[in-house]
Amino acid sequence: MHELMQKVIKEVGFTSTDSKSITGTTSGGICITLHNKGERPTRYTVEPHAEWRKDSTFGKSYPIYRYTLDTIINKDKERHEMIKVNYGWLHIDDSKLSRVASDIRRLLEQDCDGTREDTEKNFLSVGMLFMTKKEA
């Protein structure tokens, strides 16, 4: 997991439960899962990106740090928020990471009525998505 994502998770102050979890992704980001009874879980990701820009005046390159918070699956739109937020900064400090942590905390405060066991019983994980066992 990307070092800055670890700082964000620490600031969120969340410990995974049977109905909500935070895990790492293969690209160094994080995945937030809210389990829904009888439905696919709601899933969000936060993915880090860096891009380099060149200053046209001085010819120096500098990084722009970007994070994308996005909804991957949401079958419970009545209770769970659809979100897509792009954050971008020249310099990262704790106050900027706090903005990402605040959005994650808000998503984790949403109600969910399922458990990881319900999800595993009815669905197969396919990367970030889920398919019913009947579809498999």
**Chain Cα centroid distance, residue 46:** 4
pLDDT digit string, tens, across residues 39-57 = 999 999 999 888 888 877 7
What is the reported pLDDT for 50? 80
How far is the CA of 80 from the CAs of 5, 43, 50, 66, 95, in angstroms? 23, 10, 29, 24, 26
Judged against a pLDDT cut of 90, whether residue 63 lies above it is answered with no
What is the reported pLDDT for 7? 85
Query: Token pair 């996005």 is at which residue?
Result: 70
Other CB atoms within 10 A of residue 11 CB: 16
pTM over cut 0.95: no
Q: What CA–CA distance (Å, rounded) separates 123 from 130?
A: 6
